[in-house]
Structures are given as structure tokens and as C-alpha cells.
Amino acid sequence: MTRTPNRTPHHRLPRASERTSGLPDLRCWTQQIRERHHLTRPPAARRLQISKSLLKQIETRPEPPTPEAVALLITGYELDTDQTRFTRELARRPVVLPSLTQLRTRIATPARQARLDGLDSDGVLAAYTDPLWHLIAANQRFREAFPGLEDFDDNLALWFFQPGRTAPSSRQVVVDRDGFAAYLVATLRPAFGVHRESPRAREFFDLLDAGPEFRTRWDTDSITVAYGRRPDDLLRLRDLDSGERYDLTLDLGPLRADPTVRFSVGYRRHHPDRHGPGVGTPPPL
């Protein structure tokens, strides 16, 4: 008698929420949302007021659904503002991500450099980045807040996660590591989705995904999306020179002239448990 061997976990195909083996698209995104609601397709279809066959098509076929179907997904799953924006972006054609050389050429103007220098003099961190957190141009205070960026291709996410290293040097700087990891992944998700067919985005995702910390966070926070950061949502960092802990507000937004470029501005605030001399809060922009 021949017995059929039991399938092991190694052979089991993972659910979308367990392992997203690539850049996000509308198919895996809608499946992840459904699974986060702990729904199979039949009750999910009833909740969305669509047929089971249409829901299956949305989750499995590359063709985008109609705008009416997208609207039903948004209202039926009660998506927040950022999730709604991301869903609509995934329903559109992907956007080509320019090369870093192209972006740096666009940003390299005397006016923008003067802006960075002026903010630096006022004690304000400032940087132009691409959607994947590569620095395009930054002032000295930004680089001092995140020492060693140049060793990681001038990329903040790569500097933070440092795939391949068991003890990332960023641990010495970032006090609230869990919060910073969640923020980076939440901002990277829409960037990877919008630019999902760009080779540079694919290569960078694979680079980060090789590290267990990023991979775990990416899978755990599979439906968390962010396009900015609230002023009261502070980053907790440490100044390596003084040992002082401080909070950093970080404003992030795209340039009107070029939505593939982000402008980040950071203001230092005293941390209640700081050590060493204080740093004055700079005036607002």
C-alpha cells in the first residue's frame, strides 16, 4: 500500500499576508486587506456588495477593476485616507522611477542649495530624497543626525535596516527602533507600489528583503501605508557626540515641480530623559 506523504510547511504556498514575494500590486493588496479582516471570499464579497467571481478576478487577474469596483473596495473595507490613496494608485498604471542621476541633476540648482544651507544655519535638518529614501541632496545637520549614510549608498532605509549585519550601527542612533522601522516600511510601501515595474525599485526591494528585520516588518505591517508623518509623531534619536537623546519632528512631502522627489524637514526637540547640553528648538519654516 502506497501512502501519500503529508505536505510539510516548506511546500505550503504562503498566504499573501504571510509573504509578499515582490512589489505590491492591487491583487496582493486586496487579498491582504481581506485576510486582515479574517474573511474568506464569500463573506468578503457580501461585505463589498460584489459577486464572488468579481472579487476573485480582482485578487487574481492583472487587469485593473473598474473605478466603481475600486470604490466598493474602499468603502466596504473601510480604508483610511492613506490606504484609499494607495488603492487608487495601484489601480492605475505604474510610474517610471527616474534614475538617481536624473533626479540629482534636476535638484542641483543654486536656489535649492541655498535653501538647504539656510535651514542648516537655522538648526533645521533638511534633505531632498527619492521615494525610496535615497538622498538626492541634504544639508550637514541631516547627515549628522544619521551618521554613516554614505556607507549605505546614501539611503536612509538601507542605513537603518542594514541587511546582512547582525548588529546594525543604526541601533546606536535610533532609540525607538520599532517605531522608526514601522514608519520607513509604511512610507516605502506606496513607493514600491507606484513604481512596481521600475527595475531600480525591484532591485532595491530585493536588497532590503534579504534582511530578516525588514522582511518581518514588511509582512507584519502588510496593510500599513504612510505618505507623511504627523507633527506629534516624533522620532526618538540619540546624538552620538553628546550621548543626548532627543525627539525629531519630520515633515515629508513631494515637490510640486516633481512628485518623484520628496522634501524632508526635521526639527529637534528635547527628550525628557536627555543627557548632555540641550539643543534649542529651531523656528518654524
Q: Which CATH number fits domain 26-90: 1.10.600, 1.10.260, 3.40.1000, 1.10.10?
A: 1.10.260
Run of H or E including 265: strand 262-270
Contacting residues for 42 by C-beta, under 8 A, at least 6 apart: 52
237-285 residue pLDDT tens: 999 999 999 999 988 899 988 999 999 999 998 655 544 333 333 333 3
38 dihedral zone (left: phi>0; alpha: psi -120 to 50; beta): left
What is the reported pLDDT for 271? Answer: 59
Q: Which of 80, 59, 51 is nearest to 224 (CA)?
A: 80
Provide the grid cell at 11: 511546500
Q: What is the pLDDT of residue 8?
A: 35
Distance between CA atoms of residues 219 and 21, nearest Å: 10
- pLDDT, residue 280, reads 37
Q: Give 203: exposed, middle or buried? Use CB within 10 Å, 0-12, 13-18, 19+.
A: exposed
Provide the pLDDT for residue 231: 76
Task: Identify which of 68, 63, 37 has the alpha carbon closest to the alpha carbon of residue 50.
Answer: 68
- Rounded distance, CA 241 to CA 189, Å? 33
Contacts of 155 (CB under 8 A, 6+ apart): 132, 133, 134, 135, 149, 204
Output the pTM of the full model: 0.86
Q: Which portions of the chain are predicted below pLDDT 50?
A: 1-21, 274-285
* Set of cell numbers at residue 98: 527616474
Q: In this predicted model, what pLDDT tens digit does every residue of 146-169 receive, in sequence order?
A: 999 999 999 999 999 999 887 788
Residue 70 has φ and ψ, to the nearest 5°, of -60, -40
Q: Give phi and psi for 214, each to the nearest 5.
A: -65, -45
pLDDT at 272: 59
Domain positions in the chain: 26-90, 100-270
